[in-house]
Amino acid sequence: MIIVLKPDCSEPQLKHILEKITEMGFRHEVSRGVKRTLVGVIGEEDRLRNAPLRAIPGVEDVMSVLKPFKLASREFQEDASVFDLGHGVSVGGGNLILIAGPCAIEGEQVLFEIGRAVKEAGANVLRGGAFKPRTSPYSYQGMGEAGLKILRTVGDELEMPVVTEVMDPRQVELVNRYTDMFQIGARNMQNFNLLSEVGQTNRPVLLKRGMSASVQDLLMSAEYILASGNKQVILCERGIRSFDNSTRNLLDLAAVPNVRGLSHLPIIVDPSHATGRPDLIPSMALASIAAGADGVHIEVHNCPEKAMSDGPQALLPDQYAELVAQMRAIADLLGKTIPAPGDAVTV
Ligand code: PEP
Ligand code: MN
């Protein structure tokens, strides 16, 4: 349910409303928009329908959200969400993030080299996996905590926020010590225990769309994180399974404007995992920005043939730099900003 407050609802009245909601056994989430303040009331649907919310002083209207995702919906929050990722980089509401780096963290030296190159090219978030969700148990599984330490060191040295995947609720506390943003991978998008666990931190979460998940499934998974108390979810379209094996996955570009209509959460695109093909990544990245994405997530390696994972889809630093220049031109055209690490945050 969404409570619309009267325009003249005072702070003490709002406090009273929130206390009443808690007394009734529901949870609440306040959304202060430019025009109105709303209160999302979360709880069991049948009980909510009969709750006497309209009778509380200061309440103008009570509406049920028909969509199954509530806190993630545009009804609950009209204005685009903007999140601060650290080092002056924010995402959403016209701020684009360019996440770049190797698929896996392989060592300090190589991550420094790649990190320096992507930062110089204009990337504003450094990526690298320390826990890798590989299809085969015999493939490289990542460096674990040693990799997280390297990522933190390199991120700090380059003054870039970092993002890395967390695969298991038991790893959340460990990964939280090193990263600026959690990544939940496609294979774990519906690992509801993991979603609730990152939902109990206050760290931004990059939630990737599962390879056979609908747009609604993606938003329902975001809802798990939001309902656990963490408002900072960034969605990522990374391609879905199709019958056509000429690309690794099928990029659902329409998901970008589709999600933007349904939700206030930022949505970015990962053309690397969506296509698996360096010859297609640049055009899909440009199309993503043009389609209204809040950023792109691209794998870059300085020596793809030696990469421990996903080498064949990595862009070389020079190719990435050329692409960033083109993305910048589209961003300028659309009046969007690519924050440079170190800039003042605009949240
Ligand atoms: C990755 O980002 O390296 C990754 C494994 O992505 P996805 O979960 O989208 O396959
Ligand atoms: Mn990868």
User: Relative to the alpha carbon of 187, which ligand is closest?
Assistant: 1
Condensed to tens digits (0 to 9), the pLDDT of residues 25-76 reads 999 999 988 888 999 998 888 898 888 999 999 999 998 888 899 999 999 9
Q: Per-residue pLDDT tens for 140-192?
A: 999 999 999 999 999 999 999 999 999 999 999 999 999 999 999 999 999 99
Q: Which residues pair with 99 in a beta bridge?
A: 125, 297
Distance 50 CA to ligand 1 centre (A): 43
Domain ranges within the chain, ordered by starting residue: 2-63, 83-333
- Tell the burial category of 181 from Cβ atoms under 10 Å away from its Cβ (0-12, 13-18, 19+): buried
Residue 308 in this model has a pLDDT that exceeds 90: yes
Task: Kindly tell me the burial class for residue 7, based on how many C-beta atoms sit within 10 Å of its own C-beta (0-12, 13-18, 19 or more).
Answer: exposed
Predicted pLDDT of residue 169: 98
Structure-block tokens of residue 260: 């933007």
> Is the beta carbon of 266 within 6 A of some atom in ligand 1?
no
Q: Which ligand is nearest to the CA of 132?
A: 1
- For residue 130, the SS3 value is coil
pLDDT (tens digit, 9 = 90+) per residue, 224-238?
Answer: 999 999 999 999 999
pTM: 0.94
Rounded distance from Cα 276 to ligand 2 centre (Å) = 9
Closest CA to 84 of 232, 272, 288, 292: 232
Task: Please identify which residue in the block is written with the tokens 């506390």.
Answer: 173
pLDDT class of 217 with cuts at 50, 70, 90: very high
In whole numbers, what is the pLDDT of the chain averaged over residues? 95
Q: Which tokens belong to 72? A: 């993630």
The end-to-end CA distance of the chain, in Å, is: 27
Q: How far is the CA of 132 from the centre of ligand 2 (A)?
A: 8
Residues with CB under 5 A from ligand 2 (ion): 103, 310
The DSSP bridge pattern shows strands 2-5 and 37-42 to be: antiparallel
Cβ of 276 below 6 Å from ligand 1: no
User: Same CATH topology for 2-63 and 83-333?
Assistant: no
pLDDT band at 343 (very low <50, low <70, confident <90, very high): low
Confidence (pLDDT) at 345: 52
For ligand 1, atom 3, the nearest C-alpha belongs to 103
Q: How far is the centre of ligand 1, averaged over its atoms, from the C-alpha of 204 (Å)?
A: 17
Residue 231 three-state SS: coil
Q: Tell me, using a 6 A CB cutoff, whether residue 297 lines ligand 1.
A: no
High-pLDDT (> 90) share of the chain, %: 92
Task: List, for residues 283-303, the tens digit of each pLDDT value.
Answer: 999 999 999 999 999 999 999
The arithmetic mean of pLDDT across residues 194-202, rounded, is 98
Gap between the Cα atoms of 1 and 175, Å rounded: 34
CA of 222 to the centre of ligand 2 (A): 22
**Contact present, 158 and 116 (Cβ < 8 Å):** yes
- CATH number among 3.30.70.1140, 3.30.70.20, 3.30.70.270, 3.40.1280.10, domain 2-63: 3.30.70.1140
Q: Does the Cβ of 300 fall within 6 Å of ligand 1?
A: no
pLDDT of res. 344: 54
The residue-averaged pLDDT of 301-324 equals 97
Say whether pLDDT at 346 is over 80: no
Q: What is the pLDDT of residue 44?
A: 87
Q: Which ligand is in closest contact with the Cα of 274?
A: 1
For a substitution probing ligand 1, which of 140, 183, 188, 272 has the most ligand atoms within 8 Å of its CB?
183
CATH 3.90.740.10 assigned to domain 83-333? The reply is no
